[in-house]
């Protein structure tokens, strides 16, 4: 397997997994089960990290003949991350604009409801309400929507890429 094939294969698998889990979370948000949706959401990031790790390891074993520098590993992991994030972003845009328009309002309501149920003070509920409405405004702007969507998987993907490249490097 070549570098490009490794990056593409693992990037597509990672993107498909994170996108499928994102779609699985929507009914949970709509039924007001935020704790479960958060768990699955964070779980998808962990799975993305595992796929990055195994992609970098596959590169080391199959392309690098058991050897790999940190920079080679980082490059492979970053490529996997970027492909995965692109699929994640495309899925979110499809979901947000076509499949479930208005999901941002439902999520905002859930945030406020969660604050109330947790016994938050009136001031804390008011602050949560302001944050929820600000989030809705940001999501409705296409450019900030893209940035906010990528801020979920991209930083963690790059951290996991760095860890994978450091752990798996071998001269």
> Taking residues 16-45, what's their average pLDDT?
84
Nearby residues of 15 by Cβ (< 8 Å), 6 or more positions away: 83, 84, 85, 86, 87, 88
Question: Each residue of 60-85: b (16+ CB within 10 Å) or e?
Answer: bbebbeeebeeebbbbbbbbbbbbbb
Residue 106 domain-assigned (yes or no): no
> Taking residues 137-153, what's their average pLDDT?
92
Residue 136 domain-assigned (yes or no): no
Residue 133 domain-assigned (yes or no): no
Residue 108 domain-assigned (yes or no): no
Query: Which pLDDT does position 107 carry in this prediction?
Result: 83
Residue 117 domain-assigned (yes or no): no
What percent of the chain shows pLDDT beyond 70? 100
pTM of the predicted protein model: 0.86
Query: Which pLDDT does position 161 carry in this prediction?
Result: 97
Residue 99 reports pLDDT greater than 80: yes
Residue 104 reports pLDDT greater than 90: no
pLDDT tens-digit map of 40-66: 888 888 899 999 999 999 999 999 999
Query: Which pLDDT does position 27 carry in this prediction?
Result: 83
**Where is average pLDDT lowest: 22-36, 53-67, 68-82?**
22-36
Residue 127 domain-assigned (yes or no): no
Which domain does 90 fall in, by range? 3-100+152-168
| Count of structural domains within the chain | 1
Task: Read off the pLDDT band of 83 (50, 70, 90).
Answer: very high
Residue 135 domain-assigned (yes or no): no
Residue 126 domain-assigned (yes or no): no
């Amino acid at each position: 397997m070549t570098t490009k094939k490794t990056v593409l294969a693992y990037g597509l698998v990672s993107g498909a997994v994170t996108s499928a889990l994102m779609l699985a979370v929507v009914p949970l948000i709509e039924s007001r089960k935020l704790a479960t949706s958060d768990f699955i959401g964070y779980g998808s990031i962990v799975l993305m990290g595992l796929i990055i790790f195994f992609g970098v390891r596959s590169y080391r074993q199959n392309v690098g003949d058991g050897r790999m520098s940190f920079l080679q590993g980082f490059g492979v992991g970053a490529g996997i991350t970027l492909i995965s994030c692109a699929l994640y972003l495309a899925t979110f845009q499809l979901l947000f604009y076509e499949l479930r328009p208005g999901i941002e309002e439902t999520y905002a309501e859930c945030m406020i409801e969660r604050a109330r149920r947790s016994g938050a003070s009136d001031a804390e509920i008011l602050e949560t309400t302001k944050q929820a409405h600000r989030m809705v405004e940001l999501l409705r702007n296409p450019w900030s929507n893209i940035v906010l969507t990528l801020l979920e998987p991209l930083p963690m993907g790059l951290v996991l890429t760095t860890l994978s490249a450091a752990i798996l490097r071998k001269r």
